[in-house]
Amino acid sequence: MSNTTKVLPLLEPEVPETVVPCCPPLTERPFTAEEAETAARMFKALGDPVRLRLFSAVASHEGGEACVCDISDVGVSQPTVSHHLKKLKDAGLLTSERRGTWVYYRVEPSVLAAMGKLLTVAPSAA
Amino acid sequence: MSNTTKVLPLLEPEVPETVVPCCPPLTERPFTAEEAETAARMFKALGDPVRLRLFSAVASHEGGEACVCDISDVGVSQPTVSHHLKKLKDAGLLTSERRGTWVYYRVEPSVLAAMGKLLTVAPSAA
DNA sequence: CGTCTATGTTGACATACGTCGAACCAAGTC
DNA sequence: GACTTGGTTCGACGTATGTCAACATAGACG
């Protein structure tokens, strides 16, 4: 039975080929200074516990977006939350949009996929 | 979402079970403070351009290991290289071993895989 | 042993970073 | 308009970080 070979469209609404070609996998070849600069910026953005929690909260929220009020319970003051959300936004990991009273943040799916590719264990290496 | 509820085993090829169970994918559920602390430590280690270049140089080197002398051309002084390699080691991303005159660093493949999983776009989320 | 090469460690310094309180802006509500 | 709630920006402060020069350590090789 070829049950596993069914290429059913497991809900890939986003995550298209538009994955930003930031850098090759870390294991493919030594990064250039420029590549390292770019990739480090993204890693750095996730290199703080509070930001990681905020990002995870947004990413795991209904539809990949969340109101600030829903995720700001991470143990720091609200200005600090805002500060970190801005950093994530500056790093290109989140986007924000104001809808009436509340501000909603949502993840940038392509960036997530790009980072995942960075950490791919080179299959050809072996 | 009735049609999409098929939980078919969408090709989970390698990624051995030896992957350290640090945290769930970022998109699965909000990280706890503890998970965030752990994961952030790894991201932080790669959040510096110099460290990223060093790590990439080691990871892409023959057999996933490299002598310091082979990778220390990243534009900073030798003590700084040593400092960053120590940080990567402390973060659990590299291991070192002295063989005669030279010291060799090698990647911790399980950690790489674990981080890759973190950035997995949750297939069940949606 | 002495010396040379390859790395790691220490101390110092400038900068970046995380955090908060206070002030400020944006939408609703009265 | 005034008041309330949600969120950002500003200014300040303490700490962490990246960097280097100088020194220390570990083998190799006479």
Cα gap B6→A109, rounded to integer Å: 23
Is residue A89 in some structural domain? yes
CB-based contact, B39 to chain A, within 8 Å: yes
pLDDT at A11: 35
State pLDDT tens for residues B42-59. Answer: 999 999 999 999 999 999
Cα gap B46→B117, rounded to integer Å: 16
The domain tally of chain A equals 1
Is residue B8 in some structural domain? no
CB-based contact, B68 to chain A, within 8 Å: no
Nucleotides of C under 7 A from a protein CB: 5-11, 17-23, 26-28
> Which 3 state secondary structure label does DSSP give B7?
coil
Is residue B108 in some structural domain? yes
User: Which class for B100: exposed (0-12), middle (13-18), buried (19 or more C-beta within 10 A)?
Assistant: exposed
Contacts of B113 in chain A (CB under 8 A): 119, 121
Is residue A22 in some structural domain? no
Strands B94-99 and B65-67: unpaired
pLDDT at B19: 55
**CB < 8 Å from A in window 10-29 of B:** 10-11, 14, 26-29
Residues with Cβ < 8 Å from A28, sequence gap 6 or more?
A: A122, B60
Contacts of B37 in chain A (CB under 8 A): 49
Is residue B17 in some structural domain? no
A30 with B57: CB under 8 angstroms?
yes
Give pLDDT < 50 ranges for chain A.
1-18, 124-126
Domain extent at residue A90: 29-118
CATH number at residue B64: 1.10.10.10
Sheet holding A94-99, edge to edge: A65-67, A102-107, A94-99
B54 with B71: CB under 8 angstroms?
yes
Is residue B10 in some structural domain? no
Is residue A91 in some structural domain? yes
- Residue closest to sugar C1' of D23 by CA: B79
> Which 3 state secondary structure label does DSSP give B69?
helix
Could you report the average pLDDT of every consecutive run of 10 residues in chain B (126 residues)?
Answer: 37 43 85 93 96 95 91 94 96 93 92 86 53
- Residue closest to sugar C1' of D10 by CA: A79
State pLDDT tens for residues A23-41. Answer: 888 888 999 999 999 999 9
Is residue A47 in some structural domain? yes
